[in-house]
Amino acid sequence: MATSPTTQLEILRELRQSKGDFVSGAELADRLGISRMGVWKHIQKLKAMGYEISSHPKGGYRLEEVPDSLAHGEIVPNLQTKWLGIPYHYLQTVSSTNDHALLLAAQNAPHGTVVVAETQTRGRGRLRREWISTPNRGIHVSILFRSPLPVRVAPQSTQIGALALVKVLRETFGLSSQIKWPNDVLVNHKKVAGILTEMQSDQDFSRFIVMGIGINVNHTAEDLAGPFRYPATSIAIETGLPVKRQHLLIQYLRQFEQDYELFLHQGLSALIPQLEEFSEILGKTVSVTYGDREITGRAEGFTPEGALLLLQSNGQQETIWVGDVARVESAP
Ligand code: BTN
Protein backbone atom coordinates (compact mmCIF):
# COMPACT_ATOMS: atom_id res chain seq x y z
CA MET A 1 0.00 0.00 0.00
CA ALA A 2 1.33 3.46 -0.92
CA THR A 3 2.29 5.84 1.92
CA SER A 4 -0.51 8.04 3.30
CA PRO A 5 0.39 11.54 2.01
CA THR A 6 0.92 10.20 -1.52
CA THR A 7 -2.31 8.22 -1.43
CA GLN A 8 -4.20 11.21 -0.08
CA LEU A 9 -2.78 13.38 -2.87
CA GLU A 10 -3.92 10.77 -5.40
CA ILE A 11 -7.42 10.59 -3.91
CA LEU A 12 -7.68 14.38 -4.08
CA ARG A 13 -6.49 14.32 -7.70
CA GLU A 14 -9.13 11.71 -8.63
CA LEU A 15 -11.89 13.64 -6.86
CA ARG A 16 -10.88 16.90 -8.55
CA GLN A 17 -10.76 15.25 -11.96
CA SER A 18 -14.31 14.00 -11.57
CA LYS A 19 -15.43 17.66 -11.76
CA GLY A 20 -18.26 17.53 -9.25
CA ASP A 21 -19.41 13.94 -9.96
CA PHE A 22 -19.30 11.21 -7.32
CA VAL A 23 -16.47 8.68 -7.63
CA SER A 24 -17.22 5.26 -6.20
CA GLY A 25 -15.08 3.81 -3.42
CA ALA A 26 -14.51 0.69 -5.54
CA GLU A 27 -13.19 2.77 -8.44
CA LEU A 28 -10.83 4.70 -6.17
CA ALA A 29 -9.64 1.47 -4.54
CA ASP A 30 -9.01 -0.05 -7.95
CA ARG A 31 -7.11 2.97 -9.34
CA LEU A 32 -4.92 3.34 -6.26
CA GLY A 33 -4.36 -0.35 -5.65
CA ILE A 34 -5.73 -0.28 -2.09
CA SER A 35 -8.80 -1.75 -0.35
CA ARG A 36 -12.15 0.09 -0.07
CA MET A 37 -11.57 0.24 3.67
CA GLY A 38 -8.20 1.87 2.92
CA VAL A 39 -9.96 4.47 0.77
CA TRP A 40 -12.44 5.14 3.56
CA LYS A 41 -9.63 5.62 6.11
CA HIS A 42 -7.82 8.10 3.88
CA ILE A 43 -11.07 9.98 3.26
CA GLN A 44 -11.51 10.31 7.06
CA LYS A 45 -7.98 11.71 7.32
CA LEU A 46 -8.67 14.22 4.55
CA LYS A 47 -11.86 15.29 6.34
CA ALA A 48 -9.87 15.77 9.55
CA MET A 49 -7.54 18.05 7.55
CA GLY A 50 -10.52 20.23 6.65
CA TYR A 51 -11.52 18.83 3.23
CA GLU A 52 -15.30 18.70 2.89
CA ILE A 53 -16.07 15.39 1.19
CA SER A 54 -19.62 14.12 0.91
CA SER A 55 -20.29 10.42 0.65
CA HIS A 56 -23.21 8.59 -0.86
CA PRO A 57 -23.87 4.89 -0.19
CA LYS A 58 -24.24 4.15 -3.90
CA GLY A 59 -22.46 7.10 -5.56
CA GLY A 60 -19.22 7.17 -3.59
CA TYR A 61 -17.30 10.34 -2.71
CA ARG A 62 -17.42 13.94 -3.93
CA LEU A 63 -15.12 16.86 -3.10
CA GLU A 64 -17.22 19.82 -1.95
CA GLU A 65 -14.77 22.32 -0.48
CA VAL A 66 -11.02 22.57 0.04
CA PRO A 67 -9.62 24.09 3.25
CA ASP A 68 -7.38 27.14 3.31
CA SER A 69 -4.49 24.87 4.08
CA LEU A 70 -0.90 25.05 2.91
CA ALA A 71 -0.58 21.24 2.94
CA HIS A 72 1.05 19.37 0.03
CA GLY A 73 -2.28 18.61 -1.63
CA GLU A 74 -3.11 22.27 -2.12
CA ILE A 75 0.34 23.56 -3.01
CA VAL A 76 2.53 20.97 -4.73
CA PRO A 77 0.23 20.15 -7.70
CA ASN A 78 -0.29 23.88 -8.33
CA LEU A 79 3.30 25.10 -8.03
CA GLN A 80 4.40 27.13 -11.04
CA THR A 81 8.12 26.85 -10.32
CA LYS A 82 11.03 24.95 -11.85
CA TRP A 83 13.08 24.21 -8.73
CA LEU A 84 11.62 26.18 -5.85
CA GLY A 85 9.49 24.06 -3.51
CA ILE A 86 11.03 20.77 -4.60
CA PRO A 87 10.90 19.26 -2.05
CA TYR A 88 8.11 20.94 -0.12
CA HIS A 89 7.96 20.27 3.64
CA TYR A 90 4.70 21.06 5.41
CA LEU A 91 4.31 20.98 9.19
CA GLN A 92 1.40 21.87 11.45
CA THR A 93 3.67 23.11 14.22
CA VAL A 94 7.39 23.67 14.40
CA SER A 95 9.68 25.71 16.64
CA SER A 96 10.73 27.87 13.68
CA THR A 97 10.64 27.11 9.96
CA ASN A 98 14.15 28.62 9.75
CA ASP A 99 15.40 26.14 12.38
CA HIS A 100 13.81 23.27 10.48
CA ALA A 101 15.30 24.40 7.16
CA LEU A 102 18.74 24.77 8.79
CA LEU A 103 18.39 21.23 10.13
CA LEU A 104 17.44 19.92 6.68
CA ALA A 105 20.37 21.84 5.18
CA ALA A 106 22.72 20.02 7.54
CA GLN A 107 21.21 16.77 6.26
CA ASN A 108 22.01 17.74 2.64
CA ALA A 109 18.54 18.90 1.59
CA PRO A 110 18.74 20.34 -1.93
CA HIS A 111 18.72 23.93 -3.18
CA GLY A 112 15.12 25.13 -3.38
CA THR A 113 13.82 23.13 -0.40
CA VAL A 114 10.83 24.92 1.12
CA VAL A 115 9.55 24.54 4.70
CA VAL A 116 6.08 25.81 5.59
CA ALA A 117 4.33 25.64 8.98
CA GLU A 118 0.86 26.63 10.10
CA THR A 119 2.30 27.85 13.37
CA GLN A 120 5.65 28.27 15.11
CA THR A 121 6.30 27.99 18.83
CA ARG A 122 9.55 29.98 18.67
CA GLY A 123 9.23 32.01 15.48
CA ARG A 124 11.92 34.66 15.51
CA GLY A 125 12.79 37.89 13.78
CA ARG A 126 15.95 39.91 13.42
CA LEU A 127 17.80 40.94 16.56
CA ARG A 128 16.23 37.96 18.37
CA ARG A 129 12.79 39.52 18.39
CA GLU A 130 9.80 37.20 18.66
CA TRP A 131 7.65 36.60 15.57
CA ILE A 132 4.00 36.01 16.51
CA SER A 133 2.71 33.07 14.45
CA THR A 134 -1.08 32.99 14.75
CA PRO A 135 -2.20 29.47 13.68
CA ASN A 136 -3.72 29.21 10.19
CA ARG A 137 -3.79 32.97 9.66
CA GLY A 138 -0.32 33.74 8.39
CA ILE A 139 2.28 32.28 6.06
CA HIS A 140 5.54 31.11 7.66
CA VAL A 141 7.93 29.86 5.04
CA SER A 142 11.68 29.26 4.81
CA ILE A 143 13.64 28.65 1.63
CA LEU A 144 17.01 26.93 1.41
CA PHE A 145 19.60 28.10 -1.15
CA ARG A 146 22.85 26.47 -2.00
CA SER A 147 24.27 28.97 -4.49
CA PRO A 148 27.69 29.87 -3.05
CA LEU A 149 27.69 33.65 -2.61
CA PRO A 150 30.33 35.95 -1.13
CA VAL A 151 29.37 36.33 2.54
CA ARG A 152 28.99 40.11 2.16
CA VAL A 153 26.31 39.82 -0.52
CA ALA A 154 24.47 36.77 0.85
CA PRO A 155 21.99 38.95 2.81
CA GLN A 156 20.76 40.20 -0.58
CA SER A 157 18.36 37.24 -0.55
CA THR A 158 16.44 39.29 2.01
CA GLN A 159 15.89 42.09 -0.46
CA ILE A 160 14.89 39.69 -3.23
CA GLY A 161 12.39 38.09 -0.83
CA ALA A 162 10.91 41.47 0.06
CA LEU A 163 10.72 42.63 -3.55
CA ALA A 164 8.92 39.46 -4.66
CA LEU A 165 6.21 40.00 -2.05
CA VAL A 166 5.80 43.68 -2.89
CA LYS A 167 5.23 42.76 -6.54
CA VAL A 168 2.62 40.11 -5.67
CA LEU A 169 0.81 42.47 -3.28
CA ARG A 170 0.73 45.17 -5.96
CA GLU A 171 -0.19 42.97 -8.92
CA THR A 172 -2.59 40.52 -7.29
CA PHE A 173 -4.13 42.56 -4.49
CA GLY A 174 -3.73 46.11 -5.82
CA LEU A 175 -2.02 47.12 -2.57
CA SER A 176 0.51 49.91 -2.68
CA SER A 177 3.22 48.06 -0.86
CA GLN A 178 6.74 49.22 -0.02
CA ILE A 179 10.04 47.89 1.36
CA LYS A 180 11.55 49.28 4.53
CA TRP A 181 15.16 48.40 3.77
CA PRO A 182 16.30 45.73 4.09
CA ASN A 183 13.78 43.23 5.43
CA ASP A 184 10.32 44.66 6.12
CA VAL A 185 7.38 44.79 3.74
CA LEU A 186 4.87 47.52 4.49
CA VAL A 187 1.40 48.40 3.32
CA ASN A 188 0.21 51.92 4.13
CA HIS A 189 3.35 52.39 6.28
CA LYS A 190 2.48 49.40 8.48
CA LYS A 191 4.39 46.13 8.58
CA VAL A 192 2.75 43.23 6.76
CA ALA A 193 5.79 40.92 6.53
CA GLY A 194 9.31 40.48 7.86
CA ILE A 195 12.28 38.48 6.64
CA LEU A 196 15.05 36.74 8.51
CA THR A 197 18.00 35.42 6.51
CA GLU A 198 20.55 33.11 8.13
CA MET A 199 23.54 31.36 6.65
CA GLN A 200 26.42 29.04 7.22
CA SER A 201 29.65 29.90 5.46
CA ASP A 202 33.04 28.46 4.63
CA GLN A 203 35.42 31.39 5.05
CA ASP A 204 34.36 33.94 2.43
CA PHE A 205 31.52 32.06 0.74
CA SER A 206 28.12 30.91 1.95
CA ARG A 207 27.66 27.16 2.19
CA PHE A 208 23.92 27.54 2.46
CA ILE A 209 21.44 30.31 3.11
CA VAL A 210 17.99 30.10 4.66
CA MET A 211 15.59 32.94 4.00
CA GLY A 212 12.47 32.90 6.17
CA ILE A 213 9.49 35.15 5.65
CA GLY A 214 6.48 35.68 7.88
CA ILE A 215 3.46 37.26 6.21
CA ASN A 216 0.41 38.59 8.07
CA VAL A 217 -2.40 37.37 5.84
CA ASN A 218 -5.79 36.85 7.52
CA HIS A 219 -4.92 38.38 10.90
CA THR A 220 -7.49 40.58 12.56
CA ALA A 221 -6.63 43.82 14.35
CA GLU A 222 -6.89 41.88 17.67
CA ASP A 223 -4.35 39.32 16.48
CA LEU A 224 -1.94 42.19 15.85
CA ALA A 225 -2.66 44.15 19.00
CA GLY A 226 0.70 43.30 20.63
CA PRO A 227 3.25 45.96 21.51
CA PHE A 228 5.18 45.93 18.23
CA ARG A 229 8.12 48.17 17.49
CA TYR A 230 6.51 49.12 14.20
CA PRO A 231 2.74 49.29 13.58
CA ALA A 232 1.51 46.02 12.08
CA THR A 233 -1.23 45.13 9.63
CA SER A 234 -2.42 42.19 7.52
CA ILE A 235 -3.44 41.78 3.90
CA ALA A 236 -7.04 41.06 4.96
CA ILE A 237 -7.17 44.24 7.04
CA GLU A 238 -5.86 46.31 4.13
CA THR A 239 -8.07 44.78 1.44
CA GLY A 240 -11.12 44.24 3.67
CA LEU A 241 -11.39 40.69 2.31
CA PRO A 242 -10.24 37.25 3.47
CA VAL A 243 -7.33 35.92 1.45
CA LYS A 244 -6.73 32.37 0.15
CA ARG A 245 -3.29 31.76 1.60
CA GLN A 246 -2.54 28.92 -0.81
CA HIS A 247 -3.04 31.24 -3.78
CA LEU A 248 -0.73 33.84 -2.22
CA LEU A 249 1.99 31.28 -1.41
CA ILE A 250 1.94 29.86 -4.95
CA GLN A 251 2.22 33.35 -6.48
CA TYR A 252 4.97 34.32 -4.06
CA LEU A 253 7.12 31.27 -4.79
CA ARG A 254 6.72 31.81 -8.55
CA GLN A 255 7.71 35.48 -8.33
CA PHE A 256 10.59 34.74 -5.96
CA GLU A 257 12.03 32.11 -8.30
CA GLN A 258 11.93 34.53 -11.24
CA ASP A 259 13.65 37.31 -9.30
CA TYR A 260 16.21 34.97 -7.80
CA GLU A 261 17.18 33.64 -11.23
CA LEU A 262 17.64 37.19 -12.51
CA PHE A 263 19.81 37.90 -9.48
CA LEU A 264 21.94 34.79 -10.11
CA HIS A 265 22.49 35.67 -13.78
CA GLN A 266 22.84 39.45 -13.56
CA GLY A 267 23.44 40.28 -9.90
CA LEU A 268 21.33 42.38 -7.58
CA SER A 269 22.06 45.46 -9.70
CA ALA A 270 19.37 44.21 -12.16
CA LEU A 271 16.80 44.57 -9.37
CA ILE A 272 18.01 47.87 -7.88
CA PRO A 273 15.69 50.07 -9.99
CA GLN A 274 12.69 48.15 -8.61
CA LEU A 275 14.09 48.15 -5.07
CA GLU A 276 14.41 51.94 -5.36
CA GLU A 277 10.98 52.39 -6.92
CA PHE A 278 9.30 50.48 -4.09
CA SER A 279 11.42 51.81 -1.25
CA GLU A 280 9.69 53.29 1.79
CA ILE A 281 12.76 55.18 2.90
CA LEU A 282 14.47 56.76 -0.11
CA GLY A 283 14.49 60.54 0.04
CA LYS A 284 13.50 60.47 3.71
CA THR A 285 15.46 61.07 6.89
CA VAL A 286 15.99 57.81 8.68
CA SER A 287 17.74 56.58 11.81
CA VAL A 288 19.60 53.34 11.31
CA THR A 289 21.07 51.18 14.04
CA TYR A 290 23.89 48.81 13.25
CA GLY A 291 26.10 47.16 15.81
CA ASP A 292 26.00 49.57 18.74
CA ARG A 293 25.83 52.65 16.49
CA GLU A 294 22.84 54.71 15.44
CA ILE A 295 23.17 57.21 12.64
CA THR A 296 20.66 59.56 11.13
CA GLY A 297 20.70 60.86 7.61
CA ARG A 298 18.89 61.12 4.31
CA ALA A 299 18.48 57.80 2.48
CA GLU A 300 20.03 58.63 -0.90
CA GLY A 301 19.98 55.31 -2.72
CA PHE A 302 21.41 51.82 -2.86
CA THR A 303 24.74 50.59 -4.15
CA PRO A 304 24.58 47.92 -6.91
CA GLU A 305 25.04 45.38 -4.08
CA GLY A 306 22.02 46.68 -2.15
CA ALA A 307 23.86 48.57 0.61
CA LEU A 308 22.17 51.76 1.82
CA LEU A 309 23.75 55.15 1.07
CA LEU A 310 23.03 57.58 3.87
CA LEU A 311 23.91 61.29 3.68
CA GLN A 312 24.49 62.75 7.12
CA SER A 313 23.84 66.40 8.03
CA ASN A 314 27.63 67.03 8.14
CA GLY A 315 27.76 66.14 4.44
CA GLN A 316 29.44 62.78 5.02
CA GLN A 317 28.08 59.81 3.11
CA GLU A 318 27.93 56.45 4.88
CA THR A 319 27.49 53.05 3.20
CA ILE A 320 25.54 50.65 5.42
CA TRP A 321 25.58 46.95 4.56
CA VAL A 322 23.36 45.60 7.33
CA GLY A 323 21.22 47.64 9.69
CA ASP A 324 17.84 48.22 11.21
CA VAL A 325 15.83 51.30 10.26
CA ALA A 326 14.34 52.45 13.54
CA ARG A 327 12.66 55.71 12.46
CA VAL A 328 11.49 57.14 9.17
CA GLU A 329 10.67 60.82 8.94
CA SER A 330 8.89 62.31 5.96
CA ALA A 331 10.88 64.65 3.74
CA PRO A 332 10.31 68.31 4.75
C1 BTN B 1 11.65 40.37 11.30
O2 BTN B 1 10.66 41.07 11.05
O3 BTN B 1 12.53 40.72 12.08
C4 BTN B 1 11.79 39.06 10.58
C5 BTN B 1 10.67 38.10 10.87
C6 BTN B 1 10.85 36.76 10.19
C7 BTN B 1 9.78 35.76 10.58
C8 BTN B 1 9.84 34.53 9.73
S9 BTN B 1 8.44 33.49 9.96
C10 BTN B 1 9.22 32.22 9.05
C11 BTN B 1 10.67 32.20 9.49
N12 BTN B 1 10.82 31.44 10.71
C13 BTN B 1 11.24 32.20 11.73
O14 BTN B 1 11.47 31.78 12.89
N15 BTN B 1 11.39 33.45 11.33
C16 BTN B 1 11.04 33.63 9.93
Which DSSP string do the residues of 172-198 spell out, in sequence order? HH---EEEETTTEEEETTEEEEEEEEE
Please tell me the distance from the alpha carbon of residue 134 to that of residue 131, in angstroms, as a whole number.
9
Residues with CB under 6 A from ligand 1: 96-98, 120, 123-126, 129, 131, 140, 142, 183, 194-196, 212-214
In the reported structure, the alpha carbon of residue 183 is separated from the centroid of ligand 1 by a whole-number distance in angstroms of 10
CA distances from 315 to 96, 130, 296, 318 (A): 43, 37, 12, 10
Which strand (E) or helix (H) includes residue 156? Answer: helix 156-173
Q: How far apart are the first and last CA of the chain?
A: 69
In the reported structure, the alpha carbon of residue 168 is separated from the centroid of ligand 1 by a whole-number distance in angstroms of 19
Atom 2 in ligand 1: residue holding the nearest Cα: 194
Residues with Cβ within 8 Å of 238's Cβ and at least 6 positions away in sequence, in order, are 173, 175, 187, 188, 192
pLDDT range class, residue 2, cuts 50, 70, 90:
very low
Q: Which of 104, 124, 157 has the most ligand 1 atoms within 8 A of CB, as the residue to mutate?
A: 124
Measured in whole angstroms, the distance separating CA 133 from the mean position of its chain's CA atoms is 13
Atom of ligand 1 lying closest to residue 138 CA: 9
Planar angle of CA 313, 316, 320, nearest 5 degrees? 105
3-state helix, strand, coil in the chain (%, to 5): 35, 30, 35
Note the pLDDT tens digit of each residue in 245-286. Answer: 999 999 999 999 999 999 999 999 999 999 999 999 999 999
Please tell me the distance from the alpha carbon of residue 178 to that of residue 276, in angstroms, as a whole number.
10
Enumerate domains of the chain plus CATH numbers: 4-65 (1.10.10.10), 72-277 (3.30.930.10), 285-329 (2.30.30.100)
Q: What pTM does this model have?
A: 0.87
Note the pLDDT tens digit of each residue in 66-105. Answer: 888 899 989 999 999 999 999 999 999 999 999 999 999 9
Please tell me the distance from the alpha carbon of residue 320 to that of residue 324, in angstroms, as a whole number.
10
